[in-house]
Structure 1
Amino acid sequence: MNIKTHLQLEPSVTMEINASVLKKRTQGQHVYNLCAGEPMIDTPDVVKRAVMTALENNHTHYPPMAGLLELRHAASEWMNNDYGADFEVSNCAVTPGGKFGLFLLLKSLLKSGDEILTPAPYWVSYPSIAKLFGSVPVIIDTDENDDWKLDVKELEGSITKKTKILLLNNASNPTGVLYTREELKEILDVAKRHNIIVISDEVYSGLVYDGEFVSCGSFEEHRDHTFIVQSCSKQFAMTGLRVGFVFGSEEIISTVINLLGQTISGVTTISQYAALAGFKHRNDIAPLVRSEMKKRRDVFVNTFNKLFSSKISYPASALYCFIPMSAFGVEGQDSVEFCKDVLNNTNVAMVPGIAFGKEGYIRCAFGENEEELKEGLEKIKDYLETR
């Protein structure tokens, strides 16, 4: 039996590229990593000290399946105070990163044959996770000229009797788009009218540079059919510690907790203490991470616009610029081949747009330090001028 065919699972394009990057680095090559989806800055000392203290205090045993009660309280309070939600501790489960939180939510909600709507460009793992449960991803195309935003008429036209879930990414990976309160209300109204569950992936809410982030959890009239996926990874610069959250109705969160018990027996205890320290000091940590990422965003965009004749705009949020290949002066080559070509000849790693459901674009991350960003873009420019 072909296990990939059986599971309907293909490897993530981003993971394939990261593997190529790792291979080059193990060979002693310097690689400019414009594909890594994380802030490449040190985890704050207060978070690291919390890990050490947890070890010294022997907090190394099995955790509660739902997560440390104090952490669930801190996460719920954060969502309520910062984003206008109204979650109790019973509405929150701690998960090993936002990705597995999404996995558990979809497992709790979907059955074989259900359709799950998501706008493209989408985060690479959305369709693959849905397929694991025998569900059908239905992709709703969006356009750069409309700021990559989901049109409610297109949404209504994509709904069938089999539609179960709308999966929304706000703030967006890969485009950095933010939805306004009015736009979200329209989308949520459509979903409620058709009895559709909305899952809002909001893991980049802490990395908003322009405009205002609005959480789907802040709409009181829609809380009965809305779930939120969140994470400590980006906002506290602790991606490797793997702490995320899901928020929603107590009934479904209870199912998520049961799944945690039957799969991983809870999130690593010392990581939860690290996350708790992050929340206790979030008013110090989060602004510093956001400020540093904004500086790197500006350096990346300004450098690109100096080197290339086509200009790109500043993404409002997240860690990425989603760039048309034409801005690089490239025509007649698909995004996968272009990224492989650039990586093989310049050691600059990027992610092809087709991984996000949109051919003709490239995703460049600006999480690296400023010199890496500048030199990486300069190497691409030099190569394209000579090839």
Structure 2
Amino acid sequence: MKNMISRRYQETEKTAMGEVFDFLEKYDDIINLSIGDPDLVTDSGVIDKMAEDAKAGHTKYTDYRGYPELRAEIAKFYKEEYAVEIEDSEIFVSTGGCVSMYLVMEAILDDGDEVIIPDPYFAPYPSQVKLARGKAVMLSTYEEEGFQINIERLEKLVTDRTKAIILNTPNNPTGACLSLETMNKIADFCEKHDILVVADDIYTAFSFDTEFVPIMKIGSMRKRTITINSFSKNFVMTGFRVANIIGPEEVIQAIQKINENVVFTTPSISQRAALHALKMRHEIQPAIVEEFKSRVQYCKKRIEGINNMSVLDGGGSFYVFPNIKSTGLSSKEVTRLIMQEAHVLVLPGNAFGECGEGYIRISCTVGIEKLSEAFDRIEKMNMFV
């Protein structure tokens, strides 16, 4: 009998994120700081209005690009928040950030086209490029440079097949935010080489130290930027699986054609929830942002008091990315010891690329009381005493 599995998936290993649920079954007192799924519940007002809409009949297929009312609200959001005018034809409502990235890659890449990915990176990026028959090219970034993108190193990666670079700021996993100076240099670089930017703007509300500026607003980047913006993190709506893509009209048209063969349309009730979340953002988002800011600050303060562990100051997102190189152990070894001895589940930095080796990622997705308990356990471990 022929092998039922495609060759490209026959030798794939389980990812660090994929192993999380296996570990959760090992102990009944695990504190899970691994996956970026917050403990906060979506605002009850959003849920109530979504339920009302469902009862009123919003339970069917929607327009291929999403509800017109939601697209209008997304355009209004970009105008009010960033003074960027977005045309309706440039908006696509999608089924979560990961599907959005796949749709973008499928729409823009020919076989063998190259996409530059700053390393450390959100773990699915290389596979999303590969699924679209592209080639992922890694750009090293380093803590001593604030995990900023070094333009000289970037220049060395350019070939005649370079199609795009993925930018994620605030960054998952490092928490670093690209400076305006860095983004201006990237804009010049992209203009010089005629390269697209795919902006994975997932944590925009959590840029704690500086105001978030979308790269589409810089110079001539509007015409060469495709932006993904999810409701999962900014509105703690991970389970709703709803996001949006902003890009040139021809890209949006291609994405629509592809998506008709993937999920057809984004779930109607999720779109209604997104619509109400955007309308209510000034009421509900400040408390969410303040909560995660407090958690991140607490984690960094605790890390300062632990031997063989340090962390970059400033930044955003709701992750911290402690440096554990002084332990003399690998990221995976440290992660396993923390799980076995402290019963705290974190992710190894090398799950996010080669430049993540020597780090672990901690998700601040539980309250400070639980974070306190987790760090109390960790700091008693021999390698951190």
Q: TM-score, normalised to structure 2's length? A: 0.93
1:263-278 equivalences under 5 Å are: 263-278=262-277
Match of 2:99 in 1: 100
Match of 2:362 in 1: 364
Secondary structure of 1:104's counterpart equals helix
Cα separation, 1, equivalents of 2:115 and 2:310: 35
- Contact 1:179/1:214 (<8 A) preserved: no
- Contact 2:50/2:276 (<8 A) preserved: no
Q: Give the drift of 1:386.
A: 9.3
1:60-99 equivalences under 5 Å are: 60-99=59-98
Letter in 2 for 1:17: E
Secondary structure of 2:379's counterpart equals helix
Paired residues, number: 381
- Contact 1:9/1:131 (<8 A) preserved: no
Match of 1:260 in 2: 259
- Contact 2:70/2:271 (<8 A) preserved: yes
Secondary structure of 2:170's counterpart equals coil
Relative to structure 2, which stretch is displaced further, 15-24 or 286-295?
Answer: 15-24
Match of 2:22 in 1: 20
- Contact 2:17/2:347 (<8 A) preserved: no
Q: Give the drift of 1:7.
A: 4.4
Overall identity of the aligned pairs, in %: 29
Secondary structure of 1:324's counterpart equals coil
Match of 1:153 in 2: 152
Aligned-CA RMSD value: 2.0
Distance 1:31 1:44, change over 3 A: same
Secondary structure of 1:138's counterpart equals strand
Letter in 2 for 1:336: K
Cα separation, 2, equivalents of 1:245 and 1:269: 14
Cα separation, 1, equivalents of 2:146 and 2:384: 33
Match of 2:226 in 1: 227
Letter in 2 for 1:274: A
Letter in 2 for 1:79: Y
- Residue 379 of structure 2 is aligned with which of 363, 381, 384? 381
- Residue 330 of structure 1 is aligned with which of 327, 330, 351? 327
Cα separation, 1, equivalents of 2:160 and 2:260: 33
Letter in 2 for 1:293: F
- Contact 2:312/2:322 (<8 A) preserved: no
Unaligned runs of 5+ in 2: none
Matched, 1:122 2:121: yes
Q: Give the drift of 1:163.
A: 0.8
Q: Give the drift of 1:2.
A: 7.3
Letter in 2 for 1:365: S
Secondary structure of 1:137's counterpart equals strand
Unaligned runs of 5+ in 1: none
Write out per-residue CA displacement over residues 206-243 of structure 1, whole angstroms, 9 at most, x where no aligned residue. 11211121101212522211111101111111111111
1:288-299 equivalences under 5 Å are: 288-299=287-298
Write out per-residue CA displacement over residues 108-143 of structure 1, whole angstroms, 9 at most, x where no aligned residue. 001211111011111111111111122111101111
Q: TM-score, normalised to structure 1's length? A: 0.93
Write out per-residue CA displacement over residues 281-308 of structure 1, whole angstroms, 9 at most, x where no aligned residue. 0011111110010111112112222343
Q: Give the drift of 1:377.
A: 1.6
Matched, 1:346 2:342: yes
- Contact 2:327/2:383 (<8 A) preserved: no
